Amino acid sequence: MIGEWVLQFREQGYLLLDDFFDGDQMDHLHFEIFDHFGYDPDHFHNDEFLDKAATEVIPWFPMQEGVASFKRLSQHATLNFLTQALLGKGWQSLGCMVMFSKAQSRGQAWHQDCPPDEPPVYNLNRLVYTQDVDPANGGQVVVVPGSHTFGLLPVGDGHEALPNQVILAPRKGSLLLLHGHAWHRVTPVGDRPRVSTNFRAVPEQVPLDVTDICVYRTMRYQFSTNQVVQERVS
């Protein structure tokens, strides 16, 4: 089974595994997430980012605050065995980032989590879902299969449909593995907030700041400096 999963990921650049995590564990994490955020938290990023990225996500880094339940999940044996099968021995964790999208927000425009300039230099998103992504409420993940090998995301509209895209609606307990060079977005969110939790990892010798610069269809943005480092125009 692991071998089939690895082959699918290497070909498609993503892998969705439903019912990967225990439901009670997901309920506990979900409670902690909403205990932290509430239902209407303030935006984290500045107005320039919100405007140019067409992305409205508020991050939280619970492992940096010593929240034990997220650390326990990071030690999930099958998750880490699969991660090693994908990335090889010596892979490194980048910690944990909860991503909260408020009700009636724009989701996330098309992007690549790190520049595809060097194909071996990438991150692996390990996305955990503590609630169902209900298509009626939006917040689905859209990915172009195989795009992790296509190179740079083309300039264009942040939320338009791209050829061959697939739309995913992970359920509570799902694991979505997503290559950092894959072209992906999250559809706008309806009347209920939307959350996912990303336990990012990288292969050995890949810099730990590999996701500092994110590629959007309109720009390259550096999170450590909160600056646009390249405008992208057609």
Residue 173: left (phi > 0), alpha (psi -120 to 50), or beta?
left
Q: How, if at all, do strands 194-198 and 166-168 pair?
A: unpaired
Confidence bin at 42 (pLDDT 50/70/90): low
Triad 36, 45, 51: Cα angle to 5°: 130
Within 8 A by CB and 6+ apart from 198, the residues are 96, 97, 98, 99, 125, 126, 127, 128
What's the residue count for the chain? 234
pTM, 2 dp: 0.93
Q: What is the residue type of 178?
A: L
pLDDT at 1: 79
pLDDT at 41: 73
pLDDT tens, position by position, 142-155: 999 999 999 999 99
- Asked if 2 and 86 touch (Cβ cutoff 8 Å), the reply is no
What rounded mean pLDDT belongs to the chain?
Answer: 92
- Asked if 63 and 74 touch (Cβ cutoff 8 Å), the reply is yes
What are the structural domain ranges in the chain?
Answer: 2-231
Q: Comparing 47 with 59, which gets the higher pLDDT? A: 59
The topology (CATH level 3) of 2-231 is Jelly Rolls (2.60.120)
pLDDT tens, position by position, 13-22: 999 999 999 9
What's the token pair of residue 58?
């508020």
- Asked if 162 and 144 touch (Cβ cutoff 8 Å), the reply is yes
pLDDT at 57: 83
Q: Which helix or strand (DSSP H or E) is residue 112 part of? A: strand 108-112
* Residue 82 backbone dihedrals phi, psi, to 5 degrees: -65, -40
What's the token pair of residue 50?
């919100």
pLDDT tens, position by position, 83-136: 999 999 999 999 999 999 989 888 899 999 999 999 999 999 999 999 999 999
- Asked if 83 and 91 touch (Cβ cutoff 8 Å), the reply is yes
Confidence bin at 56 (pLDDT 50/70/90): confident
pLDDT at 38: 82
pLDDT at 55: 64
Q: Comparing 43 with 198, which gets the higher pLDDT? A: 198
pLDDT at 50: 52
Tell me which residue of 227, 230, 216, 222 sits closest to 155, measured CA to CA: 216
